[in-house]
Structure 1
Amino acid sequence: QDAVDVTALAQSAIDAADDSPAKAAPVTQPTKAPIKSDPKIEPIRHKVARGETAFTIARLYDVTVRSLADWNSLDANFTVREGQYLLIPLPADAGAAPAAATAAVSAPGTGSATPVPPSATKALPSPETKEQASPKPTEAKAATVATPSGGRMTYPAQGKIIREYVKGKTDGIDISAPVGSSIVAADAGTVAAITADANQVPIVVVKHPNNILTVYANIGDITVSKGASVSRGQTLGKVRDGNPSYVHFEVRNGFESVDPLTYLK
């Protein structure tokens, strides 16, 4: 069972839950240092690997998901496929897509045509352009965790915890539950995103007060829509078939994942 990494999704849901399209949340992958696009060369072409999403790829190259989507004509859910080639935006052009750039898609193991680089229509940025430094990661402090409305959350499913929270690895808990049993909102909030990762594992993200997000992965028969208000205990969907069948549940305080048991106990 792969945990879900929603750091990028958490930020975008907090900043633009009301006006941005649903965003894909990836399966957890080892942390990688951001790869900078060199403004002195043509844009990099990245081949999508299993489990990657537009969010993990954008973080890998230190560009925004929106610019990556614009450069590659991704759909409203930022869907990518294993084996697809993506053009990585140059830093100075992160806010706009090149005039002739389109997504170059190919089956795994096959070649793909190189998109027209932005240098064909505009000058490359000066080598002296300074890139914004990535913020240093900080450790979550239990004493300063924001509390959602009502003080406590309810469990999203009734069952045994079969995978515990480990920051940076699982980033949440897995709760074993019967196939078809209800997955409910842990607290009142607004549905910020309904999407799936590169392996088509469905994900629902709910935004709560104080920049708190809850994430529900491996959820089927989804009964809510993006932007809808939900109450604590309201059904979001059903537990999907699997061996074992389970729901993956995360709590995010802004960028940082926190132990869900901090809220559930």
Structure 2
Amino acid sequence: MVLIRYLLPVVACLLIGACSSVLRWTPEAHVVVSGETVYSIAFRYGIDQRDLIGWNKLSASGLIFEGQHLRLTAPDRYIPVQSPAQTTGSGKSTPATRRAPLPGQSPAVPVTWTWPVNGPVIAGFATTARTQSGVHITGKRGQSVHAAASGEVVYAGNGLPGYGQLLIIKHTSNYLSAYGHNQKLVVGEGDRVTGGQLIAKMGEGLNQRPLLHFEIRRSGKPVNPLQYLPKR
């Protein structure tokens, strides 16, 4: 009975579909398999793709090869690349800052977000262990899924467990969005898309209910999409 009680949350998670893929325990290394990109690997482990590139001394493009071993933790004495100095309205430059915001600081949203699909939200975002890293929006099978903002498709495939056919779009160096459980992808890696552009057709979650799993990530970490999407 005790074992069943502990297994129930796992079963419920699978029935909902697309639970958080951010692992609570991160291994020290990852072996690249066919179809993976720096972005999909960073997404899987909930780390910033820029850190993954820096830790492994990759080229700026993030080129990786099948069978390559990538470290998933910072080496000793590693100093993250800092953001360049910014110019204020007075023309004075402000000191460079780290990518992560200071505690209690609300990061400015550098992109204009739109809803990726029309439909009610049936599962919300949560930050506790093994819960939603995004939101579920229901609709009809084959319904159009649109880019939530302009950017570049940096991953298109089904290599991440729990997401089905998945698209990841890079909007800025800080922000990514992800679209899971698609029936069909109509854009591919390297494509440039504009906000509102058709990118996929809605599929089904693991419970066979039509839905889109949608995420926004800032510096590799999931954030609540409802705090970024326009009110409706």
Give the TM bin, normalised by the shorter chain: 0.5 to 0.7
Question: Which residue in the other structure is 1:144 paired with?
Answer: 106
Cα distance change on mapping 1:210 and 1:142 into 2, 3 Å: farther
CA RMSD after TM alignment: 3.2
Question: Which residue in the other structure is 2:17 paired with?
Answer: 2
Amino acid at match of 1:61: P
Aligned positions of 1:184-199 closer than 5 A = 184-196=146-158, 197-198=160-161
Aligned positions of 1:129-140 closer than 5 A = 132=76
Question: Which residue in the other structure is 2:117 paired with?
Answer: 157
Unaligned stretches of 5+ residues in structure 1: 6-26, 33-59, 80-93, 96-101, 104-129
Using structure 1 for the length normalisation, give the TM-score.
Answer: 0.52
Verify the 8 A CA contact 2:137 2:212 in the aligned structure 1: yes
Verify the 8 A CA contact 2:101 2:107 in the aligned structure 1: no
Cα shift at 1:219: 1.3
Runs of 4+ that moved beyond 6 A = 138-142
Question: Which residue in the other structure is 1:239 paired with?
Answer: 202
Cα shift at 1:228: 0.8
Structure showing greater Rg: 1
Q: Counterparts of 1:217 and 1:140 in 2: how far apart (Å)?
A: 31
Cα distance change on mapping 1:262 and 1:221 into 2, 3 Å: same
1:264 aligned onto 2:229? yes
Cα shift at 1:191: 0.5
1:230 aligned onto 2:193? yes
Using structure 2 for the length normalisation, give the TM-score.
Answer: 0.58
Cα shift at 1:263: 1.1
Match of 2:28 among 62, 80, 98: 62
Which protein has the bigger strand share?
2
Match of 1:251 among 201, 211, 216: 216
Q: Deviations over 1:28-84 (max 9, x none)?
A: 55x12xxxxxxxxxxxxxxxxxxxxxxxxxxx3212x3xx22xxxx323379xxxxx
Q: Counterparts of 1:3 and 1:139 in 2: how far apart (Å)?
A: 28
Cα distance change on mapping 1:141 and 1:157 into 2, 3 Å: farther
Question: Which residue in the other structure is 2:43 paired with?
Answer: none
Q: Deviations over 1:152-193 (max 9, x none)?
A: 311111111000010252111000111110110000111111
Between the two proteins, what is the percent identity of the paired residues? 23
Verify the 8 A CA contact 2:141 2:202 in the aligned structure 1: yes
Q: How many residues align?
A: 159
Cα distance change on mapping 1:166 and 1:141 into 2, 3 Å: farther
Question: Which residue in the other structure is 2:179 paired with?
Answer: 216
Question: Which residue in the other structure is 1:55 paired with?
Answer: none
Amino acid at match of 1:182: S
Unaligned stretches of 5+ residues in structure 2: 1-15, 41-55, 58-65, 68-73, 80-99
Match of 1:173 among 121, 132, 135: 135
Question: Which residue in the other structure is 2:145 paired with?
Answer: 183
Cα shift at 1:142: 7.6
Verify the 8 A CA contact 1:140 1:258 in the aligned structure 2: no
